[in-house]
Amino acid sequence: MPPKAPRRPVRLWRSPGRGAALMLCAWLAGTSPAASADTIVSARFTEPTARYAHGVLGDAIEYGALELSVEHTPSDQTSPAAGTILRSVVTIRLPDDRVFEDLSPRVADVDQDGLPEVIVVETHQQTGAQLAIYDAIGHKIAATPHIGTRFRWLAPVGAADLDGDGHVEIAYVDRPHLAKTLRIWRFRNGALTEIATLPGLTNHRIGEDFISGGLRNCDSGPELILASADWSRIISVSYDKRWTLNDLGPVIGPQHLTMALKC
């Protein structure tokens, strides 16, 4: 198994480093797991592999498996196990023509049932990256189409009810080094539907082992924080009857987008 290259810390909603375990966190602000049924409490990528040598995140190492730590509270209160919490590990192992081309899995309640799912970037050897959602038993419950070409990637931004319609939207930048297009997808009735396409935005530079910007929620509601296509300006994207882009000022340094996440 090839060695895992060192990683710089990923931004605030993320785990301590690429491939490390991600505990249930505020990638989807305001979400908390239910106290019963199968609950994902942490997730991490495992089985590092060099079988997909894209290197967009700084080296040739990606991951062949996703490991979920799951807690289960028996619903039958007459059971001998009533009142106890059972723990298990669920492993999603990809076929050889796919990898998780990602920093860390993201735990979020996408379907708003009180139980979290996991959001990842999954890449096919020939058709490139897609955004995929897995549940607590390891089923891929929804995914965007693959970009369509080998060595083409997407960089997640955030997940929240971005437009106030009562459903969760997930945003990512499609090909942040080439197309530089923000795409926003709504999760509804078990499927993802693209609802917005906004060009001229990015959140990653080739070789960086982190994704810049992300999601913030200040007094005015959820905002996506990104960079302009030429990395000169910090751009906020929000919804108020239509999708609005606001210029928050110049990009001065590599951590400036992270600082912009603070209200």
Average pLDDT, the chain: 87
- Binning pLDDT at 50, 70 and 90, where does residue 31 land? very low
Q: Residue 80 pLDDT more than 70?
A: no
Q: What proportion of the chain, given as a percentage, has pLDDT over 90?
A: 75
Please report the sign of the dihedral spanned by the C-alpha atoms of residue 163, residue 217, residue 11, residue 67: negative
pLDDT, one tens digit per residue, over 224-257 is 999 999 999 999 999 999 999 999 999 998 788 9
Each residue's pLDDT tens digit, 55-67:
999 999 999 999 9
Q: What is the pLDDT of residue 23?
A: 42
Q: Is the pLDDT of residue 20 over 80?
A: no
On the question of pLDDT at 17 being above 70, the answer is: no
Is the pLDDT reported for residue 119 higher than 90?
yes
Confidence of residue 208 (pLDDT cuts 50, 70, 90): very high
pTM of the model: 0.86
User: Alpha-carbon distance 24 to 102, whole Å?
Assistant: 17
- Reported as a single tens digit per residue, the pLDDT across 134-182 is 999 999 999 999 999 999 999 999 999 999 999 999 999 999 999 999 9
Quick: pLDDT tens for 84-105: 788 999 999 999 999 999 999 9
Beta bridge partners of 38: 72
Task: Give the 3-state DSSP-derived string for the chain, with helices as H, strands as E and coil as C.
Answer: CCCCCCCCCCCCCCCCCCCCCEECCCCCCCCCCCCCEEEEEEEEEEEEECCCCCCCCCCCCEEEEEEEEEEEECCCCCCCCCCCCEEEEEEEECCCCEEECCCCCEEECCCCCCCCEEEEEEEECCCEEEEEEECCCCCEEEECCCCCCCCCCEEEEEEECCCCCCCCEEEEEECCCCCCEEEEEEEECCEEEEEEEEECEECCCCCCCCCCCEEEEECCEEEEEEEECCCCEEEEEEECCCEEEEEEEECCCCCHHHHHCCC
Please tell me the predicted confidence (pLDDT) of residue 256: 87
Look at residue 11 in the predicted model and tell me its pLDDT. 30
Evaluate whether 90 touches 70 at the Cβ level (below 8 Å).
yes
